[in-house]
Amino acid sequence: MPREPFDVGLVVESLSILDEQGRADESLDPKLPADVLRRMHRAMVLTRKLDERMIMMQRQGQMGTFAPNRGQEAIQIGSVLPLRKDDWYSPSYRSFGAQLWRGWAIDQLLLLWAGYFEGFALPDGVNEMPMSIVIGSHVPVAVGLGMAIHYRGGDQVVLVNFGDGASSEGDVSESLNFAAVYKAPVIFLCENNQYAISTPFERQTGVKTLAQRGVGFGIPSLRVDGNDVLAMAAASREAVDRARSHKGPTFIEAVTYRMEMHTTADDPKVYRSDDEVRQWERKDPIARFEKYLKARKVLDDRDIAAVSDEIEEELRLARDRFSARAVQRPREVFDFHYETLPPDLAEQKAEYLAKLDRCGA
């Protein structure tokens, strides 16, 4: 049989607007209004400072294990910027910058990551799915949500984010296929931060870009500099518009780097070099954005220092509110798993409570 030329459509577009010095490509700059740029900057700095504070609190025993966001702030803020309040966000566990933008209170996020039951309640009026720790498991659910909107004739969209590691899960492939066929109004945001715990990108997949995955399923796909908040905002805007006008899903591969440990239970020095980390520091999303903002005269050094001070104060107050609510209740350990405890657990509970009584707890 003669071999036919076959267009596999593997040309993946790549988008970046800011260079490493924070200089914008004029033809691509979305020229967002100054007040929006200031809010984006503030949200990114808040995310970074909350991360730093939470790591300190975790080291002092006041916070549970959590997944730091440092380096991924531009993805989070840029991707949710074009969402309307009634759109849906289905986050992974490394997304608290976006969650704050969507309406979470800082002290509630602290309660959540300190393991308090009440921290997990979704805030009123925030259209968000419970975040997923089981890798990739939330992606089919996000597509189902998109299909429900589609069947009801709504025009909301669903943004779901997941990692490079999650992209290897069958759940994600099935979701991409289904969404492509049925034109689900979903934005698949794959945060390629180069690692799935200690597994580097080269060991994760045989493809050079994860955006190819989307193309393979027939989904318009784009590779974006994930440390460039303007590029993230522009890509997300396009994807949101496509989903809202019933043209179906978009796949965005946001290329970034996880600057911190996987979670506070991890030591990345065991599997990657300081030199590699330093290379990525040069692409820091906040530093680049600040250079851009200064060049556009949206902020100057004094404004940036003032934002930093304000956020420190906001975090201090949030930590105080959290501390007032974070009262340990060891007697509740068995309470939220079953409506009726199975007999063996009921026995363990009785034994445990008797022990607490003996210790006076």
| Closer to ligand TPP by Cβ: residue 94 or 319 | 94
Q: Is 163 in the site for Mg ion (CB under 5 A)?
A: yes
Q: Which two tokens stand for residue 227?
A: 């440390």
Q: Is 72 in the site for Mg ion (CB under 5 A)?
A: no
Cα 234 to Cα 191, 207, 241, 243: the distances in Å are 16, 25, 11, 14
Whether the CA torsion 269, 275, 278, 282 is positive or negative: it is negative
Of 53, 150, 258, 319, catalytic: 258
| Window 178-207: residues binding ligand TPP (CB under 6 A) | 191, 193, 195-197
Please state the separation of Cα 283 from the chain's center in Å. Answer: 18
Q: How many CA atoms lie within 13 A of 185 on its CB side?
A: 25
Q: How far is the CB of 191 from ligand TPP (least distance, A)?
A: 6
**Residue 159, helix vs strand vs coil:** strand
Q: Which of 94, 138, 223, 288 binds ligand TPP (CB under 6 A)?
A: 94
- Whether 338 is a known active-site residue: answer no
Q: How far is the CB of 132 from ligand TPP (least distance, A)?
A: 8
Strands of 164-310, DSSP E: 186-192, 195-196, 199-200, 221-225, 250-255
Q: Is 223 in the site for ligand TPP (CB under 6 A)?
A: no
| Window 230-269: residues binding ligand TPP (CB under 6 A) | 258, 262
**Residue 185, helix vs strand vs coil:** coil
| Window 281-320: residues binding ligand TPP (CB under 6 A) | none
Q: Which of 135, 139, 229, 315 binds ligand TPP (CB under 6 A)?
A: 135
| Closer to ligand TPP by Cβ: residue 191 or 228 | 191
User: Residue 130: which of 102, 176, 86, 89 has the closest Cα?
Assistant: 89
E strand or H helix that includes residue 213: helix 211-216
Binding footprint of Mg ion, residue count (CB under 5 A): 4
> Which of Mg ion, ligand TPP, none is residue 94 near (CB under 5 to 8 Å by kind)?
ligand TPP
Q: How many CA atoms lie within 13 A of 5 on its CB side?
A: 2
Q: Is 164 in the site for Mg ion (CB under 5 A)?
A: yes
Q: Which of 22, 119, 146, 163 binds ligand TPP (CB under 6 A)?
A: 163
DSSP 167: G
Q: Which two tokens stand for residue 123?
A: 């805030």
- Whether 262 is a known active-site residue: answer yes
Cβ contacts of 33 within 8 Å, gap of 6 or more: none
| Closer to ligand TPP by Cβ: residue 89 or 292 | 89
Cβ pair 62, 114 in contact under 8 A: yes
| Closer to ligand TPP by Cβ: residue 77 or 326 | 77
The label of the residue with tokens 């979305």 reads 30
Select the span of 28-36, 115-123, 164-172, 290-298 touching ligand TPP (CB under 6 A).
Answer: 164-172
- Greatest C-alpha distance within the chain: 84
Q: Which of 97, 165, 216, 226 binds ligand TPP (CB under 6 A)?
A: 165
> Which of Mg ion, ligand TPP, none is residue 71 near (CB under 5 to 8 Å by kind)?
none
| Closer to ligand TPP by Cβ: residue 162 or 292 | 162
Q: How far is the CB of 258 from ligand TPP (least distance, A)?
A: 6
E strand or H helix that includes residue 337: none
**Residue 136, helix vs strand vs coil:** coil
> Which of ligand TPP, Mg ion, none is residue 135 near (CB under 5 to 8 Å by kind)?
ligand TPP
- Whether 151 is a known active-site residue: answer no
The label of the residue with tokens 């899903």 reads 249
* Residues assigned a catalytic role: 258, 262, 271
Contacts to ligand TPP by CB under 6 A: 94, 133-135, 163-166, 191, 193, 195-197, 258, 262
